[in-house]
Structure 1
Amino acid sequence: MKRLVLLAALVLVATCQTVYQCPKDGRVFKCSSEPKEVCGIKTVHGEQVKETFVNSCQACSLGKVDFTVEGKCENYLAEAEFCPPSYKDVNACTEQFQPQCAWFNQSVKCLVYPCAIEVQNRCYGCIIKNVLFTTEGDCPKSV
């Protein structure tokens, strides 16, 4: 059944991504105040710190965050560990077994809840196209 759900999810995948990598060169931006709320993520001491900003430009200005995800932070699961854009360039993951639930972004239209797949570890989840974040442990069975 899991394979059928995964196959259905993969068939319906669109190409858009909801993650934006902030420039790392310390540039100062001239930003508009046009609202398009994003969740800004910065890794501090190995932990993700999340804060909602008016838009990606303001979030990335002066290096406040590493990357942004569309929408308010509180719209996501509190335990969500967002996949940094750099994970999409990973070619191989360790074989460490630390079960994760890898949640797809909104471009994937799932037929059943959860819109996620169980994976061996965070790396395996984050290298899957259109996975937005992971949570520890198995995926929930129902709402």
Structure 2
Amino acid sequence: MVDLPLNSPIDIRAHVLYDAYQRYSTKKSYKNYKKLCIKFGKQAIIFEEYEYWFSQYLQEDERELPDIRGCILSDVTNGKSAETSFDDLCDAFKNQKIDEEDHGYWFNRFENGHLFNRVTFSDFPEDVISEIVERCDIKS
């Protein structure tokens, strides 16, 4: 068995399940995966390892919603509209509830060239910080 790389920039399970839903071959899915790795400046696993995980994940039952941000980024990279992306994700992961607002946030973020950078409190605009501070009491 091949060990899944811990430093993968995306959830490979989600990526495989989504690409399989779109009837992508293993090779086409791997090409998409490599594009995403390039965007993140990360090394992609070799095709043979990816092929192994592709076949493994196709045999799994969908239990919980995987991290679909990589799927959204793939849709942006491949030129899908936000609406088509959301609809396709809902169809692909039909047993799970995908939040439209979350999807829109990530789609717009990726479309504007931002990746998975962690946002901190100080990254908020000044008016948002002021609003938060106004609503909090000193003790909390």
Q: Which protein has the larger Cα radius of gyration, Structure 1 or Structure 2?
A: 2
State if a TM-score over 0.5 links the two structures: no
TM-score relative to the length of structure 2 = 0.29
